[in-house]
Chain A
Amino acid sequence: MKRAFRLFLGAAFLAATFTIVGCSSGPSEEELAQLEALKAEVASLQKEVSAKQAENAGLQKQVADKQAELAAAMKEQDATRDRLKSQQ
């Protein structure tokens, strides 16, 4: 009976040690929440960046198209001038 009691005490000591050591090496609830919030912020920023990249690509295409339109308009103007000259 005495032996069993000692065994019980030993186990209780061991368990308490594990618990204390385990608790002291991990982050607190607050810190874990801070990490989660940071992760969420990063995910939201990634979404925002993707949307902006798509908008940027769309605008680049529009600019290229407009530049081509301007070049065509200028070419058309030159051709019109030439034709008017040849009519005279």
Chain B
Amino acid sequence: MNFRKLVLSGLMLIMIAAASSVSAQTKITKEEWQKQITDYTGQRDNLKRTLAQLSKDIDSLKALLASLDQKVTAVNSETKSLTGASDELRKGYTAQLSALENWVNELARLSNQDLFARKAEIDSVQAKLNDLKKSKLAAMQENHDRLQSLQQKIDGLRAALAKPEFVASLEKTYIVGTWKKNRDCLWNISKKKDIYNNPFMWPKIWQGNRDQIKDPDIIHKGQKLKIPTAGPLTDSEKKAEHKYWSKKRVGTK
């Protein structure tokens, strides 16, 4: 009985060993190995060919890039030499251009009141720009672009000054107080520092408000008077003043 058990156990062990040996060998057969070797060898050879071709292409591209780089440098230096200007002259021109740009930008940032007060500068800026345009260096692309942009800005400033709403925005207003408290009459209003600082400018206020002031001696509390832009009396304002005084003289006689 014991011997039989021993034989059966041995039998089972042998069977297990044989099965495991067979299963270990079934992972890959010789034919499969051969096929894989052939496949991978083919892949390796293809990859090596591709790699060689890519290296060749890369070398050609690098050479092409270097040649293009040289051409760009040559064309750029040829363009620079067209004006015949030295580096120093070029730098000076660029500095002048930058200064002019700063000036124009400063004018563009001003309030309407300040721009109106400095409107003569627009002509000065234009004159400077015209000078710069005459230089050979103005033909260079970069300078040409900057000059064009400056011209556009100057034109923009001129157009802004000409707009009716700009002129309207310059007009100050004044609310009339009482004679008793404020001593408000056209003469005194004109005399105020923040109006004209000059009483003789009163006809300007009168003429600027003809719609609500018929007689310059009569203004009412709460009236909102437009204060025209400061400046010498115009011909029509002088004429109106003269007429007023004449009428006054006739009245007193």
**A residues apposed to B, CB below 8 Å:** 1, 4-5, 7-8, 11-12, 14-16, 18-19, 21-23, 25-27, 31-32, 34-35, 38-39, 41-42, 45-46, 48-49, 52-53, 55-56, 59-60, 62-63, 66-67, 69-70, 73-74, 76-77, 79-81, 83-84, 87
Report Cα–Cα, A18/B249, bound state, in Å: 147
**Chain A interface, >50% SS class:** helix
| B57 adjacent to chain A (CB < 8 Å) | yes
Binds A, one of B74-82, B106-114, B159-167: B74-82
Q: Does B140 count as interface, using CB distance less than 8 angstroms?
A: yes
Q: Are B14 and A11 in contact (CB under 8 A)?
A: yes
The 3 lowest CB-CB distance pairs between A and B, nearest first, are A15-B18, A22-B25, A83-B139
Chain A residues within an 8 Å CB radius of B28: 26-27, 32
B248: CB under 8 A from chain A? no
B58 with A52: CB separation less than 8 A: yes
- CB contacts between A and B, total, < 8 Å: 147
User: Is the pair B25, A87 in contact by a Cβ cutoff of 8 Å?
Assistant: no
- Chain B residues with CB under 8 Å of chain A are 3-4, 7-8, 10-11, 14-15, 17-19, 21-22, 24-30, 33, 36-37, 40-41, 43-44, 47-48, 50-51, 54-55, 57-58, 61-62, 64-65, 68-69, 71-72, 75-76, 78-79, 82-83, 134, 136, 138-141, 144
